[in-house]
Amino acid sequence: MQSIDELAYSSPFKDWSPLGKFTLALSLLVSSLVASSIVIPLVAFCIGFVLLFISTRFRFPKVIVFALLEGMIIFLIGSVVIALVTEGDPLWTYDIGPWELTFSNQGVHLGTMVFLRAVAGATVMLFFATSTPVPQFAQSLRQVRIPNELVELTVLIYRYSFLLLEQLNTMYIAADSRLGFRTYKRKYRTTAKIAVGVFTRSIDMAERSQVALEVRSFRGEFRSYHPPVKISTKWIALSLIVFLSLYTFNLAIVDPAPLIQLLKM
Amino acid sequence: MHIMEGFLPIEWCIFWYVLSAPVVVWGFLQIRKLFAEHPEQKMILAVSGAFIFVLSSLKLPSVTGSSSHPTGTGASTILYGVATTSVLSVIVLIFQALLLAHGGITTLGANTFSMGITGPFIAWLAYKGMYRAKLGLVPTVFVVAFISDIATYIMTAFQLALAYPTAGSVLTSFTTFFGIFAVTQIPLAVVEGVLFVMFFDYLSRTRPDLLKGKLHFKTKTSDEEGTAVEA
């Protein structure tokens, strides 16, 4: 989590409009979801991958590799289950003890499609995450009239998460050095103790923060000194062009006849 | 486990967004009212949200050999109620999608409905029933945490079954999805129940003021040493 945050702050795309990047990412995700050809998720994956690669300054940190690999395992299990539950013309049948697993043609196609959509989605989201610090994204939400209370709650939760994680790590190391995770029973007991420790400290921290803010004349609203760049019409146009191009490309692959007719008119 | 990016067709993504929106808006209005009446609660609520997020990074060993993490919504339901939990869940789910590549933005509506609305709502019903029946801290917390976890996974399996029915039958598909989830999720729900019983037990001893009027438990005060007192 901390590594992705560090990457976001050092990304060459950091100063681009957060909402602009979000709209572009969303257009890639939606294009991939509405497509019926597996080529479109592949194209979305390639675009996402290139953007992610540039965003991480042409290196592939371990955190990204682990996030993608962990995601792939989950995607694979999910896609196999979707392939199994989809009925159709039988393609492969496996006997596993009392069960018989049958994969249909349609099921394998749908499973592959879902897997590719998920991989494309993860890559595109990682591009967005590694190029946009969360506080910047939250502040930019004010531009689309998201209420202040929600924006501030998001920024505060984000800030406190790092403080709590630091405390959690300290407690974890302290417990580990006292053999607190030696047996299963101890593991659960120590985890519960750490959770309570973090919770009670977090309540104390909240109370102290409130006092600190009040003595600095806090009026119930946090203002950003450098507000993030606003979304421009260029970003909206780019996102629309990307979506329409991929949509048309999908139509051309799946059923080119209506498209050819339209072009002839 | 959340529904990952790309796993739901676009029409289902929109459907779950639309279904979750009213509850989240209601939750937001509750929070706005709370902040207007008690501005000091802003920090406490923010830290609680951060706590839920950090808690979800605590890895727990699972019987299948893999590790999993608690959702924390059962505890949040007892402490803050369903509406507030739904808003905190949305924020936590966005962080999980962006910072941990877990869940997704197109599936945010579906994940909010399962983890932030269904789980907490069913857990809240169980909590209210058990609180009125004056049951103690251990059974109440265990059942609430267990139910909140299981209800979340039942809803997730149902959402996937609706999107991918087997030969038109949602029920058959649901049985398959839930059967696969059950292998890891039922033991995990039990583990989460046990973990939260320990959590609330320690909390009742260290900060009983935070649980006053929310759970029935016995505590020892310094002037009544040795005497059990109902808080």
**pLDDT reported for residue A2:** 58
- B62 CB within 8 Å of a chain A CB: no
Out of A87, A110, A168, the one facing B54 most closely (by C-beta) is: A168
Q: Given an 8 Å threshold on Cβ–Cβ distance, is B43 in contact with A156?
A: yes
B3, B38, B54, B76: which to substitute to probe chain A, counting the most A Cβ within 10 Å? B54
* pLDDT of res. B227: 38
Residue B108: which residues within 8 A CB-CB, separation 6 or more?
B17, B90, B93, B94, B97
Query: Is some CB atom of chain B closer than 8 A to the CB atom of A14?
Result: no
Beta carbons of B105 and A29 less than 8 Å apart: yes
A80 and B CB contact within 8 Å = no
pLDDT digits over B14-25, tens only? Answer: 999 999 999 999
CB contact under 8 A, B61 and A119: no
Confidence of residue B122 (pLDDT cuts 50, 70, 90): very high
Q: Tell me the percentage of chain A whose pLDDT exceeds 70.
A: 97
Indicate the residue of A121, A149, A158 with minimum beta-carbon distance to B35.
Answer: A149
Question: Any residues with CB less than 8 A from the CB of B149 and at least 6 apart, and which?
Answer: B70, B71, B74, B119, B185, B188, B189, B192, B193
Q: What integer best gives the mean pLDDT of chain B? A: 82
Residues of chain B positioned with their CB less than 8 A from the CB of A71: 4, 101
Cβ of A5 under 8 Å from any chain B Cβ? yes
Residue A139 has pLDDT above 60, yes or no: yes
Portion of chain B with pLDDT greater than 70, in percent:
87
Encode pLDDT of A190-203 as tens digits. Answer: 887 888 788 778 77
pLDDT tier for residue B231 given thresholds of 50, 70 and 90? very low
pLDDT band at B65 (very low <50, low <70, confident <90, very high): very low
| Distance of residue B170 Cα from the nearest chain A Cα, in angstroms | 10
Each residue's pLDDT tens digit, A115-135:
999 999 999 998 998 999 888
The answer to whether A121 contacts B199, with C-beta atoms less than 8 Å apart, is: no
For residue B106, the model assigns a pLDDT of 92
Predicted TM-score (pTM) above 0.90:
no
For residues A160 and A203, the answer to whether their CB atoms sit within 8 Å is no
Average model confidence (pLDDT) for chain A? 86
Per-residue confidence band for A214, with pLDDT thresholds at 50, 70 and 90:
confident
Q: How far apart are CA A143 and CA A230, in angstroms?
A: 7
pLDDT above 90 as % of chain A? 31
CB contact under 8 A, A129 and B203: no
- pLDDT of residue A254 exceeding 60, the answer is yes
Closest residue of A to B98, CA-based?
A: A129
Q: Which of residues 117-136 of B touch A (CB under 8 A)?
A: none
CB contact under 8 A, A165 and B100: no
The answer to whether the Cβ–Cβ distance between B106 and A84 falls below 8 Å is: no
Q: Do B51 and A198 touch (CB under 8 A)?
A: yes
- Nearest by CB to residue A74, choosing from B4, B46, B87, is B4
Tell me whether B98 touches chain A (CB under 8 Å).
yes
A71 interfacial to chain B (CB closer than 8 Å): yes
In this prediction, residue B69 carries a pLDDT of: 64
Kindly list the residues from chain B whose CB atom is less than 8 angstroms away from the CB atom of residue A77.
Answer: 180
Task: Using a CB–CB cutoff of 8 Å, tell me whether A259 touches chain B.
Answer: no
Q: Which residue of B has its CA nearest to A198?
A: B51
- Is pLDDT above 70 for B230? no
The torsion angles phi and psi of B136, rounded to 5 degrees, stand at -75, 180
Q: Element (H or E) spanning A69, and its range?
A: helix A62-85
The span from the CA of A72 to the CA of B175, in Å, is: 24
Does B193 reach chain A within 8 Å, measured CB to CB? no
Q: Does A196 touch chain B (CB under 8 A)?
A: yes
Give strand pairing partners of B218. Answer: B230
Rounded mean pLDDT of B149-153? 87
| Confidence (pLDDT) at B204 | 84
**B28 — contact with chain A (CB < 8 Å)?**
yes
Q: Is the dihedral of CA A87, A89, A90, A92 positive or negative?
A: negative
CA torsion A232-A238-A244-A247 (nearest 10°) is -120
Find the closest chain B residue to A82 by CA distance: B164
Rounded Cα–Cα distance for residues B93 and B82 (Å): 16
- Residue B35: the pLDDT is 84
